[in-house]
Structure 1
Amino acid sequence: MRTAKETVPSGLRRPSWRRISRRLVVGLAVAGLSTALNPFSGGNEARAADLPKLRAAVLKIGTVNWELDTIKRNGFDKANGFELEVQPYADNGATRVALEGGEADLAVADWIWVARQRAAGKDYVFIPYSKAVGGMVVPKDSSVKTLEDLKGKKIGIAGGPVDKSWLILRAYAQEKYGFDLAAQTEQVFGAPPLVFKSALNGETDAAINFWHFLAKMKATGMRELISVETASKDMGLDPNVPLLGYVLKESYLKDNPEMAKALYQASRDAKELLASDDAAWEPLRDRMNAKTDAQFETLRDDFRAGIPAPGNVNEDGAATFFALMARLGGKKLVGDVGELPPGLFVNVE
């Protein structure tokens, strides 16, 4: 078995190691031990076993597994003072039940959902993970050049009527072209794979799908009509606000005060590796379920495009985005939340 020391590029390992070294020095002093500081060296395997465990409940086929696999494969969790345990589930609902019931310490969700839960009294908080969002694609030879050309046409949409990409593109069409996409098109809502197949079979004129399905659709020859990022920029929203993140309980972080920054740094270490090293993607090919090299490369490139800038979430930008979602999605999307609840975003710096 390859060790973390053998696989982690030195440029990524050194900053994390300096941080964990300081923590280990304190721990060793308290325990009255005088062993070597490296917990993974030959005579100190027990120290590695003593690291706090972080149980992550995730969708078995979710793209977050690409990052979590990279964290574990390269030892970024242990280098930052914890051991990551990945618990796969068949659907997102089950991951959230596991988090709520204490069977897991972490799940993945968008912060709008987290805000709704927090406003309802749950002590959930959000650590940024990805700003990858969807968009709209059309067949390569389609005559559709702008959203305005979709009047009277059929759109396949994953995620339902309050899908965030759909809501943003509706707002953009209203602002840019003065018409409501919902009123002047036919929508077919379905699961992402169904939207994918319907679009490729020509059953719909355009499609809105989750980012990784869109990547595969583009790889098969479909053309991106507009991205949510472009629409967001044009409407004055901050496209760099990460929508997806790791969700933990404040009570858990109170008992494990170093875990938030440790998790965030392990995540950044994995992102930096995946952003800079094509070879780091080879062990992920099976997980990515890419049927062709073109799909693999598009998935890799779009994942990289979704990596947020380091640092805390821009709360003003998030508040503006939330207000738009509340206006368009109403209570069905945000519940009774009037504004972002305080303490939603964890300070990761």
Structure 2
Amino acid sequence: MTIATDLGRALRGLAAGAAAVAVLALPALAQDRPAPAQDLPVLRLGLQLSGTVNWEVDTIRHEGLDTANGLTLAVQDMAAGPAAQVALQAGAVDAIVSDWLWVARQRADGQDLVFIPYSRAVGGLMVPADSPAQRLGELAGGKIGIAGGPVDKSWLILRAYAERQEHIDLAAVTEQVFGAPPLIYKAALSGELQAAVNFWHFGAKMQAAGMRELISVQEAGTALGLDPGTPLLGYVLRGDVVRAHPGLAEGFAAASRAAKETLATSADAWDRLRPMMNAADDAEFEALKAGFIAGIPPEGPVDEAAAAKMLALMAELGGTELVGSATTLPEGVFWKPAS
């Protein structure tokens, strides 16, 4: 027998031993691996793809945070607002982004929806940089542009603040122009308006363009006794979908929180997102980035007592047109992880 033969046998023995060890180790390793994507439950998320929430959703998918947390996120483009709400109620999608006041209204009417917080970012009332106005009362006789309608939540809070702090009816002493956020943004920059109330990201763009914030909705709300930590916007999920797939809501909430942590700490993540942010220049990019991070809600359950206080104020200011029959906070609006 040759040395080569003995060496060959030895090597074959080592290989067989290594293979046996590997086979024994496979079950333990398999326990640590996430399930293949094709075996995970799919959450159909309906979004307007031009919205700021896509910065977070794109981060979730790019980083694989959905599959790492036990689900596959499938995004469908759709119109915002009522169209998305109808799609959710019809079962065309499993989740959308909306405010929890709408969820409260739907639950009061018997709809099975739950809310997972996404953002507490709110806008403010913007005026031109050279505006002489230093308080809301000094806008009397002027024209205010409002993104939304007469029961827009930010506008209602500002009206309540003006009445309580300055003893004026802001709607009575000014002219209001209601319109889509981009139209209000353009009209404000062109000088057609003396002031504008818009979504937070348009407010950030206005500031980057030289306008100034006379008062934020958060400041006005705090003066009215509202908790600035209460998130207004969130992911709204169908309750039947949550029940059909145990762990789905918890996994999605974890993926959302992980994406927020990435965006709060990683400049590279923002550089990757910049093309979809449509920032006109560096100043606008930084303003949008800062505004998003400032709007990240605190971790943990929503303070339901604070939310109930906000709902009561919205019911007082907006009536049934805004909150329907939800004069008190219905049970189950805010999703809670299983104990």
TM norm structure 2: 0.89
**In structure 2, distance between residues paired with 1:82 and 1:174:** 48
> Is the Cα–Cα contact under 8 Å of residues 311 and 327 in structure 2 kept in the other structure?
no
User: Counterpart in 2 of 1:289?
Assistant: 278
Q: Which residue of the other structure, out of 314, 322, 325, is the alignment partner of 1:333? A: 322
User: Counterpart in 2 of 1:22?
Assistant: none
Displacement, 1:336? 2.1
Please tell me whether residue 180 in structure 1 is matched to residue 178 in structure 2: no
> Is the Cα–Cα contact under 8 Å of residues 274 and 304 in structure 1 kept in the other structure?
yes
**Can you list the C-alpha shifts for 1:205-248, whole angstroms capped at 9, x where unaligned?**
01000111111111100001110111111121101100001111
> Is the Cα–Cα contact under 8 Å of residues 58 and 92 in structure 1 kept in the other structure?
no
In structure 1, what residue type is equivalent to 2:68?
A: A
Percent identity over the alignment is: 57
In structure 2, what residue type is equivalent to 1:195?
A: I
Displacement, 1:340? 1.3
Displacement, 1:90? 2.9
User: Counterpart in 1 of 2:301?
Assistant: 312
**In structure 2, distance between residues paired with 1:252 and 1:130:** 23
User: Counterpart in 1 of 2:81?
Assistant: 92
Displacement, 1:33? 6.1
Q: Which residue of the other structure, out of 27, 30, 33, is the alignment partner of 1:36? A: 30
> Is the Cα–Cα contact under 8 Å of residues 311 and 348 in structure 1 kept in the other structure?
no
What are structure 2's unaligned runs of at least 5 residues? 1-25
Please tell me whether residue 232 in structure 1 is matched to residue 221 in structure 2: yes
Q: Relative to structure 1, is the Cα distance of residues 213 and 261 closer, same or farther in structure 2, using a 3 angstrom cutoff?
A: same
**Can you list the C-alpha shifts for 1:33-61, whole angstroms capped at 9, x where unaligned?**
66623536xxxxx7232111111011121
User: Counterpart in 2 of 1:244?
Assistant: 233
In structure 2, what residue type is equivalent to 1:171?
A: A
After the TM superposition, which of the residue ranges 236-245 and 337-346 deviates more from structure 2? 337-346
- The secondary structure found in structure 1 opposite 2:30 is coil
Displacement, 1:298? 0.4
**Can you list the C-alpha shifts for 1:274-306, whole angstroms capped at 9, x where unaligned?**
011111111211221111111111000000110
User: Counterpart in 2 of 1:216?
Assistant: 205
In structure 1, what residue type is equivalent to 2:33?
A: P
- The secondary structure found in structure 1 opposite 2:55 is helix
User: Counterpart in 2 of 1:14?
Assistant: none
Q: Provide the alpha-carbon RMSD of the alignment.
A: 1.6
> Is the Cα–Cα contact under 8 Å of residues 242 and 248 in structure 2 kept in the other structure?
yes
> Is the Cα–Cα contact under 8 Å of residues 58 and 108 in structure 1 kept in the other structure?
yes
In structure 2, what residue type is equivalent to 1:283?
A: R
> Is the Cα–Cα contact under 8 Å of residues 127 and 348 in structure 1 kept in the other structure?
no
Q: Which residue of the other structure, out of 32, 38, 43, is the alignment partner of 1:49? A: 38
**In structure 2, distance between residues paired with 1:207 and 1:201:** 12
What are structure 1's unaligned runs of at least 5 residues? 1-31, 41-45
Displacement, 1:254? 1.1
**Can you list the C-alpha shifts for 1:252-281, whole angstroms capped at 9, x where unaligned?**
111112111111111110001101111111
**Can you list the C-alpha shifts for 1:76-96, whole angstroms capped at 9, x where unaligned?**
111111111111113333322
User: Counterpart in 2 of 1:77?
Assistant: 66
Displacement, 1:73? 0.5
**In structure 2, distance between residues paired with 1:98 and 1:334:** 20
- The secondary structure found in structure 1 opposite 2:246 is coil
Please tell me whether residue 267 in structure 1 is matched to residue 256 in structure 2: yes
User: Counterpart in 2 of 1:4?
Assistant: none
**In structure 2, distance between residues paired with 1:92 and 1:333:** 14
